[in-house]
Amino acid sequence: MFIDTHVHLNADQYEEDLQQVIDRALAAKVEKMVVVGFDRKTIEKAMNLAETYDFIYAVIGWHPVDAIDCTEEDLQWIEQLAAHKKVVAIGETGLDYYWDKSPKEVQQELFRKQIHLAQKLNLPIVIHNRDATGDVVKILREENAASVGGVMHCFSGSVETARECIAMNFMISLGGPVTFKNARLPKEVAKEIPLEYLMIETDAPYLAPHPYRGKRNEPSYVPLVAEEIARQKELTVEEVAQATTSNAVRFFNIKE
């Protein structure tokens, strides 16, 4: 059994064939999925999916790219929704310095607020980081994010950064890029980081693994991520599946 720990089944890309996508995931033994909502529209859809399917869970928060659009009312709304038993984490939040829609200081302020919210609710945090590793780690440390812990979603950093995050009570989640031929850092992380700290995800519809790179991603492809980790660690896919599933169940406090 596999768990896709970060998927956007609430994305417009699945409007035409959502049920078929879910059916293919289940057929591929992806028996649980964590759907991430990161703005008003996607949070509402994530909650609907979690209420419709017993094997789907929700993570809700506000994406750093759109930090400039987030109001205090939005944060209060997220806090209210987070009382739902199917909401398992706050996120995805963090920093994204690749896109310049939201100024860095606005992103950082919202990031801190969402860490505080996770601490108030005693929920883990799902971290988005693009081109901002230094500031992400600094803010996590300053705000004592270790008190609730979290996951570095679709981790693309070095083994050293991964170890730094693990020391702060964070899991490392690998996605499609670990399967790319030229993905040196993710492959090193897959090889060097102990299995007890790893989870797997698709981030679908984005970042499809090889051989689907460039196409629409979907949760049925998460076993390909497990296969690459197994290759790097010289383990069986079953061993990786069992460990990453166990990690995800524990991390998200998913009731079996």
pLDDT in tens, 28-66: 999 999 999 999 999 999 999 999 999 999 999 999 999
58: number of Cβ within 10 Å: 24
d(CA 110, CA 63): 9
Q: Which three-class secondary structure state does DSSP give residue 156?
A: coil
Quick: pLDDT tens for 115-144.
999 999 999 999 999 999 999 999 999 999
Cα 2 to its chain centre, rounded Å, is 15
Please state the rounded mean pLDDT for residues 72-81: 98
Tell me the mean pLDDT in the region 76-92. 98
pTM score, whole prediction: 0.97
- Name the percent of the chain lying above pLDDT 90: 99
Average per-residue pLDDT in the chain?
A: 97
- Give me the pLDDT at residue 252, please: 97
Reported as type and span, the H/E element at residue 113 is helix 104-121
Of 146, 74, 148, the residue nearest 110 (C-alpha):
74
Tens digit of pLDDT for each residue in 211-234? Answer: 999 999 999 999 999 999 999 999
Task: Examine the pLDDT at 26 and tell me if it is beyond 70.
Answer: yes
CA–CA gap between residue 182 and residue 40 (Å, rounded): 36
C-alpha 193/C-alpha 174 separation (Å) is 11
DSSP codes, 213-245: TTSPP-GGGHHHHHHHHHHHHT--HHHHHHHHH
Share of the chain above pLDDT 70, in %: 100
pLDDT for 159 equals 98
Band of residue 255 on the pLDDT scale cut at 50, 70, 90: confident
Local confidence band at 256 (pLDDT 50, 70, 90 cut-offs): low
Q: Kindly provide the residue ranges of all beta strands, DSSP E only, lying in the chain, ordered along the sequence.
A: 2-7, 30-37, 56-60, 87-96, 125-130, 150-152, 170-174, 198-200
**Residue of 172, 179, 228, 231 whose CA lies nearest to 208:** 179
Taking the C-alpha atoms of residue 61 and residue 70, their distance in angstroms, rounded to an integer, is 10
